[in-house]
């Protein structure tokens, strides 16, 4: 599964990239850069193209976190991303709000950037287990460190794992999928390419061929 990270800061361009790539993209992830420039209603516009995931990395007290989740679910998102280091009470509240909208909650275990190793890595497996015990739907784990994808998957086997960091941050589709990712999240390598649609198509095809390779290998092993 390919998720487009739409960190474009021009409203019209964002809509154009979303429409041009829609055929190859399962969901569109929005983040502060787009919403702070285009306004929160861009979420509703994009939701008409593909399901939207709100990556506001919710990280506040339960009340404020729940309010943020409610506002974006009201705008039509299908899922929100929260930080896990905030602890159980906040995740429970975000989960409760999401359930009112039949929505999903994904939890960041450690950032894909180098700084993610400074504080977050140490607690990433506890965060993964917490997210699972709270009934969240999945984790956000670093495509830049496939060994960490494997680690969080074994800590919380029932959760989906979505992985940012392919392309501009150096992660490879094959390594990430072999580590057990359910989806890759790609931003700059698609929307900054001269032909975003073609770039999305290439990621889509690469995902398909890697998936077939993995399935063949699993088939042989069984």
Determine whether the annotation assigns residue 47 to a binding site: no
Which of 10, 19, 41, 55 is flagged as catalytic?
55
Determine whether the annotation assigns residue 132 to a binding site: no
Find the part of the chain contacting ligand NUP (CB under 6 A) among 16-24, 69-77, 88-96, 183-191: 183-191
Q: Are strands 138-140 and 160-164 parallel, antiparallel or unpaired?
A: parallel
Determine whether the annotation assigns residue 21 to a binding site: no
Determine whether the annotation assigns residue 64 to a binding site: yes
Q: Is 19 a catalytic residue?
A: no
Q: How far is 191 from 26, CA to CA, in rounded Å?
A: 15
Q: What is the DSSP letter of 114?
A: G
Q: Is 55 a catalytic residue?
A: yes
Q: Is 60 a catalytic residue?
A: yes
Which of 16, 19, 57, 178 is flagged as catalytic?
57
Q: How many C-beta atoms lie closer than 10 Å to residue 210's C-beta?
A: 18
Nearer to ligand NUP, 73 or 191 (CB): 191
Nearer to ligand NUP, 121 or 169 (CB): 169
* Residues engaged in binding ligand NUP (CB under 6 A): 5, 7, 31, 55, 108, 111-112, 140, 142, 164-165, 167-169, 185-189
Task: Show which residues are catalytic.
Answer: 55, 57, 60
């Amino acid at each position: 599964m390919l998720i487009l990270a739409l960190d474009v800061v021009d409203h019209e361009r964002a809509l154009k990239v979303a429409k041009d790539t829609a055929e190859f993209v399962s969901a569109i992830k929005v983040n502060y850069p787009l919403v702070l420039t285009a306004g929160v209603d861009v979420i509703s516009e994009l939701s008409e193209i593909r399901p939207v995931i709100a990556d506001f990395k919710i990280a506040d007290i339960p009340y404020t976190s729940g309010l943020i989740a409610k506002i974006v679910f009201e705008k039509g998102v299908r899922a929100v991303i929260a930080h896990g280091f905030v602890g159980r009470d906040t995740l429970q509240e975000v989960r409760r709000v999401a359930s009112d909208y039949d929505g999903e909650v994904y939890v960041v275990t450690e950032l894909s950037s180098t700084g993610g190793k400074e504080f977050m890595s140490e607690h990433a497996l506890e965060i993964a287990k917490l997210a699972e015990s709270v009934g969240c739907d999945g984790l956000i784990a670093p495509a830049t460190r496939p060994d960490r994808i494997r680690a969080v998957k074994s800590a919380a086997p029932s959760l989906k794992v979505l992985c940012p960091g392919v392309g501009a941050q150096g992660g490879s589709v094959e390594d990430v999928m072999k580590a057990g990712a359910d989806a890759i999240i790609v931003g700059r390598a698609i929307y900054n390419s001269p032909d975003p649609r073609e770039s999305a198509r290439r990621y889509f095809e690469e995902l398909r061929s890697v998936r077939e390779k993995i399935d063949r290998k699993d088939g042989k092993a069984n």
